[in-house]
Amino acid sequence: MIQLENLTKRFGGLTAVNNLSLTVPKGEIFGFLGPNGAGKTTTVKILSGLMQPTSGRALVDGIDVAKDPVAAKRITALVPDEPFVYPKLTGSEFLYFIGDLYAVEPAEQKKRIPELLEQFELAQWEGELLESYSHGMRQKLVIAGVLLRRPSVVLLDEPMVGLDPKSARMVKTILTDLARDGATIFMCTHILEIAERLCGRIGIMYDGSMIEAGTVAQLRARASKELAAGIGSRVTLEDIFLDLTAARQCAPL
C-alpha cells in the first residue's frame, strides 16, 4: 500500500533521505523511528505530496505521489507534527470543511461530525474559533478529520506530542482500529513504548538511511549480543534503539 523506491531528497549539499526503499502492506502499522534530523519528516512530506523527491519514487496504492498528487491525496491523510487548522473557523466548521473537501456525503457528515466531536471531547468547544484551541485540541481535531474521511493510508508525524494521557490512549486505540479495518498506517514517533505496542514493524532511520527494519523481536535479535546477554529477555525497544544508533555513531566513516 505504501512503497518507497530508492527515495532520495537533497537540500543543497545535505542528503536528508538517502536511497530509501520500503514496502508497507495494507493493514500494517509501520513505526518510523530515528534521532532528530534522521529524515523522518522529509519522508512523510514526500509521501503526502508536500515535497518533491530529488530522485526515486513514493507510491500509495500504486499511485506515484509526485505524478498524480490529487489521486494520491484523495486516499491519504496526514497528521503533521504541527497541526494546521484555519484560525477563523470553529471546530465544527473545520470538520464540515474537511468533509466537503474530501467529498464525504452531507448526510454522513451530519451524522458523524457531532459523534466525532463527542468522542474527542471537543463538543463543548465546537462553536469556538480554532485560534483559541490548545495544541492538543487542534491535534485531536485534525485526527477527527482523518476519521471522518476514512482514508486508506494514514501518515502521522509525532501524533502524540501535546496530547494528554487520556487522549493519547484514545489515539492509540483509534490507530489500532483503523489498521484492523484495513487502513495502512505510517507513523513517525519518538515514543518507543508506542512503537513497541502498536507497530507490526519498525524502521530505524539514521542520517537519511534506514539502518534496521523488522518486528521488535527481529530487531531484538539483531541488537548486539552483549546487550541481549546483559539484559536478557527484558530488552526493550529503547535499549535496542540506543544500541543500534550508538553503534552507528561509533562506526568509522
Ligand X SMILES: Nc1ncnc2c1ncn2[C@@H]1O[C@H](COP(=O)(O)OP(=O)(O)O)[C@@H](O)[C@H]1O
What, of Mg ion, ligand X, none, does residue 229 touch, CB below 5 to 8 Å by kind? none
Smallest distance, Å, CB 237 to ligand X? Answer: 17
Among 31, 34, 83, 91, binds ligand X (CB under 6 A): 34
Can you say whether the dihedral through the CA atoms of 141, 77, 40, 10 is positive or negative?
negative
Among 20, 33, 41, 237, binds Mg ion (CB under 5 A): 41
Contact region for Mg ion (CB under 5 A) — 4-12, 33-41, 53-61, 65-73?
33-41
Q: Dump the DSSP string for 181-236.
A: TT-EEEEE-S-HHHHHHH-SEEEEEETTEEEEEE-HHHHHHHS-HHHHHHHGGG--
Contact at 8 Å (CB) between 190 and 113?
A: no
Task: Using alpha carbons, select from 64, 52, 76 the residue that is nearest to residue 5.
Answer: 64
Q: Which of 2, 7, 16, 79 binds ligand X (CB under 6 A)?
A: 16
Which candidate, 135, 133, 100, 99, places its Cα nearest to that of 116? 99
Residue 220 is a binding residue for ligand X (CB under 6 A): no
Is 42 a residue that touches Mg ion (CB under 5 A)? no
Residue entry with cell 526503499: 21
Residue 154 binding target from Mg ion, ligand X, none, CB below 5 to 8 Å by type: none
The stretch near ligand X (CB under 6 A) out of 11-19, 52-60, 97-105, 191-199 is: 11-19
Query: Does the footprint of ligand X cover residue 41 (CB under 6 A)?
Result: yes
**Do you know the residue count of the chain?**
253
Grid cell, residue 77, equals 491523510
Given candidates 20, 22, 29, 38, which one binds ligand X under the rule CB under 6 A? 38
Residue 11 sits in the site that holds ligand X (CB under 6 A): yes
Tell me which residues touch ligand X (CB under 6 A): 11, 14, 16, 34, 36-42
